[in-house]
Amino acid sequence: MKKKVAGQVIRNEEIAPDIFSMWIETELAEDAGPGQFVGVFPNRESTILPRPISICEVNADKTALRLVYRIAGKGTSELSHMKAGRRIFLLGVLGNGYDLEQARGKSAMLLAGGIGVPPILQLAKELSGLEGMDSERIASEINIVVGYRDSNSFLLEELQQYGNVYVASEDGSIGTKGNIMDAISANKLNADLIYSCGPMPMLRAIKQFAEDRDISAYISLEERMACGVGACLGCVCKTAKVDHHSHVNNARICTDGPVFEAREVDI
């Protein structure tokens, strides 16, 4: 069930220019999975709408969440100033998340660009089965391709614990010069299925790549969100099929997504 709860900031640090990592002690960690997100209230008095931020990691005993965020405006800037010990309000857990069972016994390729990288970390951890004592390996092979603007990368070393990591950068300063599609061809990578998160041009290229090979691709869509719980219809995307409730080709990214099978959405 979605609820608004108070948590406590454990740590909040800059891990790359304008990119922050925040660990929060919260009961929401108990039910949080990869690809889901929380609504973060940066400052309870002055910022009414929660900011949607993906779950980057859940700690082993499920008492804390890690969020990795880029300073984009007022809300995320306020977040970056929060110190350890500060109370923080969260709405969650929101969204559907990635379907891990689809990867059972398969070769999975995890594709992420820029601030789409954080949710891939918890996903890689769970697919690899290296997240805790009781966890089992799900995917038979994990290839992770991440793209950055330049050498200011983040989360790279952590991702390397869970799969083979390939890097692309727009300026060529690290990895393959270009985008993640360039890194896929340079390294001759293939997969049984794809999980991805990143900017829209990247998601369109992935949808095409998956259709050409007739494989499933799960893409995480991003849209400006107000309520985050399906009430305002501020975050709809176009779907291939007609929704049987509303009789239109629409889905709400905050509740029906943010993760969709690429064939289901018109992007």
Ligand X SMILES: Cc1cc2nc3c(=O)[nH]c(=O)nc-3n(C[C@H](O)[C@H](O)[C@H](O)COP(=O)(O)OP(=O)(O)OC[C@H]3O[C@@H](n4cnc5c(N)ncnc54)[C@H](O)[C@@H]3O)c2cc1C
Binding site for ligand X (CB under 6 A): 37, 49, 51-54, 68-70, 72-76, 115, 118, 222-225, 258
What is the distance between the alpha carbons of residues 175 and 24, in angstroms, rounded to a whole number? 32
Query: Rg of the chain's alpha carbons, rounded to an integer?
Result: 18
Nearest distance from C-beta of residue 217 to ligand FES, angstroms: 23
> From the list ligand FES, ligand X, none, which binds 147 (C-beta under 5 to 8 Å, kind-based)?
none
Alpha carbon 203 to its chain's center: 13
Number of residues that bind ligand FES (CB under 6 A): 12
**C-beta of 224 vs 244, nearer to ligand FES:** 224
List the structure tokens of 70: 């880029």
Q: What minimum distance in Å lies between the beta carbon of 51 and ligand FES?
A: 12
Q: Are 262 and 218 in contact (CB under 8 A)?
A: yes
227 binds, among ligand FES, ligand X, none (CB under 5 to 8 A by kind): ligand FES
Contact between 21 and 15 (Cβ < 8 Å): yes
Residue 174 touches which of ligand FES, ligand X, none (CB < 5 to 8 A by kind)? Answer: none
Q: Report in angstroms how near the CB of residue 257 gets to ligand FES at its nearest.
A: 9
User: Is 115 or 183 the residue whose CB approaches ligand X more closely?
Assistant: 115
CA neighbor of 42 nearest in space, from 33, 52, 56, 30 = 52
Alpha-carbon distance of 68 to 164, in angstroms, equals 22
For residue 238, the cross-strand partners are: 250
Three-state secondary structure call for residue 117: coil
Shortest distance in whole angstroms from residue 58 CB to ligand X: 14
Task: Tell me how far, at minimum, the Cβ of 210 lies from ligand X, in Å.
Answer: 21
In the bound complex, what is the minimum distance in angstroms from residue 71's beta carbon to ligand X?
Answer: 7
Cβ atoms < 10 Å from Cβ of 211: 12
Query: Which amino acid, 98?
Result: Y
The partner in contact with residue 200, picked from ligand X, ligand FES, none with C-beta cut-offs of 5 to 8 angstroms by kind, is none
129 touches ligand FES by CB under 6 A: no
Alpha carbons 51 and 41: distance in angstroms, whole number: 6
Residue nearer to ligand X on the CB measure, 41 or 162: 41
User: Among residues 40, 121, 191, 254, which is the contact residue for ligand FES, using CB under 6 A?
Assistant: 254
User: Which lies closer to ligand FES via its Cβ, residue 60 or residue 233?
Assistant: 233
Contacts with ligand FES, 204-243, as mask; x by CB under 6 A = ---------------------xxxx-xxxxxx--------
For residue 232, the partner it binds in ligand FES, ligand X, none, with Cβ less than 5 to 8 A by kind, is ligand FES
The SS3 call for residue 19 is strand
What burial letters (b/e) apply to 82-100, b meaning 16+ CB within 10 Å? beeeeebbbbbbbbbbbeb
Rounded to whole angstroms, the Cα distance separating 102 from 192 reads: 10
Q: Which residues form the interface with ligand FES (CB under 6 A)?
A: 225-228, 230-235, 252, 254
